[in-house]
Amino acid sequence: MVPESRRSPRSSALPSTFCAVVAERRLLSNLAYCLLDSVDAAEVAVQETYTRWYTMPDDEQERIDRPLTWLVGTLVRICVDRRESSSRQAGGRAVDPAAHPDPAGPAPRRFRAWREVPKL
């Protein structure tokens, strides 16, 4: 084992490209989760987005100036399509999460107005 003083300060640092890819995937996962309210559905949507990107012909990929913008736009369209298809399967109406009682009980009066704001 090398003593602490002899180690180079950046020997265990990850390459910046890897960090950028991890940050990009985290952003897409968080966005998909916010849109779909499910970790599993969000992961499927992110995988489908990356599948569309990596199966795209090289000449089409080169024409895209900002890949992250394309990935986010594609992910949002996938999530919206999934929400619309799930609402059609549920009998034509979307399931309202506000209709389910909160297990924590009623909100304090000062937060009630915020809870009653329609969710987008």
Percent of the chain residues topping a pLDDT of 90: 51
- What pLDDT does 89 receive? 72
What does the mean pLDDT of the chain come to? 77
- What pLDDT does 25 receive? 95
Supply the DSSP symbol for 118.
P
Instruction: Give, in degrees to the nearest 5, the angle at Cα 104 between 102 and 108.
Output: 90
- What pLDDT does 85 receive? 86
CA distance 78 to 81: 5
Angle between helices 39-54 and 67-89 (to 10 degrees): 130
CA distance 79 to 77: 5
What's the pLDDT tens digit per position in 24-49? 999 999 999 999 999 999 999 999 99
